[in-house]
């Protein structure tokens, strides 16, 4: 195409800066004619701008010589004075109304009619600058969210974050490919070489990763299994289309794949919205975040797919709408993922709490206190630090349960626990060994005063008076004390010594403290 053929028929008179298309393509080429309604009078240079969904190269034939000038969004080197929101071609300053401009669009074809106009360069530059600022902001938001979730994944190693990272990465790539800015970056020529096949692959990869993320984020496999299976099938079809669209297949197969992709977009969108709506009604909070964040984007995707399917022109606001909705979605999903992570941490903390603490008395359970004893034993051996164990048993506890009920027994357990805590230091540890039995770990100075600490606990418990349904329940404890000596073979032996001492206190009359190896019990203080 060195010179533009002058069409003899089929051209309608164009409105000012509007485009007219030939009714019948010539030799597989779509031809457009653009014409001014009056001679150019502005001081600035007139610009031919071609915008919209640009997928094919456009050959521009303009006066005075009508030599072909090929423009394309996939061209790595374009005039850096303009963004790639449109293909821009400077026209002669003395352009007249009788000098038509021709634009030829060849294969792989254009999904929707071209949008072209002749604009004042000053006005266009101002509008272009506004677009660059807005687009840069929206992309920066998405890239920031992408980096945040990469950090989240490095910390938590959860599969959901991988899916979102993939979705967000390909979404940013898609957005930048649509504006053409991707091809102007260093190394952008590699992506530009893929041309339409590259952008089509991105169009399929974005929803594929989006579905994988949605299935995990909203727990659709558990809440809506049938729709989840349909979405898994859609994800598989997207990946098949990625392969087909990446291959140099014949033109008619490429168009068939694109039409299939657009239909799949609509079907998958409806399935995702329906499944999320059902999940929301079943109490899934993440479904609410999804609907809140992606509903504008999904609607726009449906509009774009429908637009391409029935050959509608792209509305001017669409060039901002996609970038804005994607940035908005990234922010809302970030909040949703943060809330989900916080919930996971709360559940983890609750599980850790249940694994270590007795749910009634809120002291360490048997497993946890034994672990604390083992650690203290190891430290004591290494540093020769003092260590002692108290073994406590509530006297006549079975009679309390039988005579007053288990609720009264629980109240007594809580009261005794609070009394014991009041006599312990920060370094001491208290655990429920089982039933009405408790174990206390004493370290440092408290270990040296273990017998006195035990006696203070005994006195404090004996002073308790639990009233249950207007009936007073007297309480007392028998306490065994065992100090770690050079000859103590193990921590298990130390606990056993304390248990033996506690048994001696029981058989000696209860409400007593007995120290292992001391040979005598501490007599209770008279009431």
Same domain, 272 and 209: yes
Residue 289 domain flag: yes
Q: Which residues contact 390 (CB under 8 A, 6 or more apart)?
A: 439, 440, 442, 450, 453, 454, 457, 479, 480, 481, 498
Average pLDDT over residues 19-26: 50
Query: In terms of domains, do 203 and 100 share one?
Result: no
pLDDT of residue 178: 72
Mean pLDDT of 464-493: 89
CATH assignment at residue 372: 3.30.70.270
- Domain ends where: 297, 320, 354? 354
**Among candidate residues 64, 99, 120, the one where a domain is terminated:** 120
Query: Do 391 and 287 share a structural domain?
Result: no
Final residue belonging to a domain, choices 354, 375, 400: 354
Domain-embedded: residue 14? no
| Assigned domain for 360 exists | no
Same domain, 88 and 231: no
The terminus-to-terminus CA distance of the chain in angstroms comes to 115
**396 and 270 within one domain:** no
C-alpha 1/C-alpha 335 separation (Å) is: 54
Task: Tell me if 94 is assigned to some domain.
Answer: yes
Q: Where are the alpha helices (DSSP H) in 366-517?
A: 366-383, 397-404, 406-422, 445-448, 450-462, 491-507
Identify whether residues 214 and 349 lie together within a single domain: yes
- Same domain flag for 186 and 326: yes
Query: Do 241 and 317 reside in the same domain of the chain?
Result: yes
Instruction: Find the CATH number of the domain harbouring 130.
Output: 1.20.1070
Domain residue limits at 445: 366-522
Q: Which of 51-65, 142-156, 273-287 has the highest mean pLDDT?
A: 273-287
Identify which has the larger pLDDT, 81 or 92. Answer: 92
> What are the tokens at 421?
């805590």
**pLDDT above 80 (res 390):** yes
Percent of the chain with pLDDT over 90: 28
Asked whether residue 8 is domain-assigned, the answer is no
- Among the ranges given (55-69, 205-219, 339-353, 359-373), the one the predictor scored with the smallest mean pLDDT: 339-353
Return the pLDDT at 14.
35
Across residues 333-353, what is the average pLDDT?
77
Asked, for residue 100, whether it belongs to a domain, the answer is yes
Q: Is the pLDDT of residue 56 over 70?
A: no
The overall average pLDDT reported for the chain is 81
Question: Does 163 share its domain with 222?
Answer: yes
**Total structural domains in the chain?**
3
> Residue 406's Cα: distance from chain center in Å?
46
CA distance 206 to 42: 44
6 belongs to a structural domain: no
Residues 111 and 158 in one domain: no
Phi and psi angles of residue 454, each rounded to the nearest 5 degrees, phi first: -60, -40
250 vs 237, more confident: 237
pLDDT at 387 over 60: yes
Question: Is 175 in the same domain as 87?
Answer: no
Helices (H), 384-444: 397-404, 406-422
Residues 332 and 445 in one domain: no
Q: Which residue has the higher pLDDT, 227 or 326?
A: 227
**Is there a domain that residue 211 lies in?**
yes
Q: Residue 4 pLDDT > 70, yes or no?
A: no
């Amino acid at each position: 195409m060195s010179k533009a053929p002058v069409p003899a028929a089929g051209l309608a008179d164009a409105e000012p800066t509007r485009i007219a298309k030939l009714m019948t393509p010539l030799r597989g080429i779509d031809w457009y004619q653009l014409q001014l309604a009056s001679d150019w009078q502005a001081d600035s240079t007139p610009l031919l701008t071609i915008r919209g969904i640009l997928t094919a190269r456009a050959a521009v034939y303009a006066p005075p010589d009508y030599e072909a000038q090929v423009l394309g969004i996939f061209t790595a080197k374009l005039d850096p004075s303009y963004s790639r929101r449109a293909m821009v071609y400077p026209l002669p300053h003395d352009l007249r109304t009788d000098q038509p401009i021709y634009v030829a669009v060849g294969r792989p074809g254009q999904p929707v009619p071209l949008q072209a106009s002749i604009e004042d360069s000053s006005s266009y530059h101002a509008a272009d600058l506004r677009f660059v600022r807005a687009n840069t902001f929206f992309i920066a938001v998405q890239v920031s969210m992408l980096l945040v979730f990469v950090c989240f994944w490095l910390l938590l190693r959860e599969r959901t974050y991988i899916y979102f990272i993939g979705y967000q990465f390909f979404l940013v790539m898609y957005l930048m490919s649509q504006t053409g800015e991707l091809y102007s970056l260093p190394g952008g020529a590699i992506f530009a070489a893929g041309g339409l096949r590259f952008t089509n692959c991105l169009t399929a990869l974005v929803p594929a990763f989006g579905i994988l993320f949605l299935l995990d984020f909203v727990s659709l496999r558990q809440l809506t299994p049938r729709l989840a299976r349909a979405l898994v099938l859609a994800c598989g079809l997207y990946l098949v289309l990625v392969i087909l669209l990446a291959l140099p297949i014949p033109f008619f197969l490429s168009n068939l794949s694109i039409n299939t992709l657009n239909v799949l977009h609509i079907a998958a969108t409806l399935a995702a919205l329906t499944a999320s709506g059902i999940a929301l009604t079943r109490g899934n909070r993440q479904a609410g975040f999804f609907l809140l964040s992606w509903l504008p984007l999904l609607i726009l995707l449906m509009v774009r797919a429908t637009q391409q399917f029935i050959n509608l022109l792209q509305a001017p606001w669409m060039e901002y709408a996609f970038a804005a909705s994607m940035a908005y979605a990234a922010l809302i999903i970030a909040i949703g993922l943060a809330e989900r992570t916080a919930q996971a941490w709360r559940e983890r903390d609750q599980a850790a709490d249940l694994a270590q603490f007795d749910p009634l008395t809120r002291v360490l359970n048997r497993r946890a206190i034994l672990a604390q004893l083992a650690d203290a034993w190891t430290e004591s051996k290494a540093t020769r630090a003092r260590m002692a164990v108290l073994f406590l048993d509530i006297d006549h506890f079975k009679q309390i349960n039988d005579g007053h009920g288990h609720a009264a027994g629980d109240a007594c357990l809580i009261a005794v626990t609070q009394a014991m805590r009041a006599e312990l230091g920060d370094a001491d540890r208290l655990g429920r060994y089982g039933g009405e039995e408790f174990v206390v770990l004493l370290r440092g100075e408290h270990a040296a005063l273990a017998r006195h600490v035990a006696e203070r606990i005994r006195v404090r418990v004996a002073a308790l008076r639990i009233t249950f349904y207007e009936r007073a329940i007297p309480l007392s404890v028998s306490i065994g004390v065992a100090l770690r000596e050079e000859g103590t073979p193990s921590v298990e032996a130390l606990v056993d010594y304390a248990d033996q001492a506690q048994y001696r206190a029981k058989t000696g009359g209860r409400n007593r403290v007995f120290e292992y190896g001391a040979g005598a019990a501490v007599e209770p203080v008279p009431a």
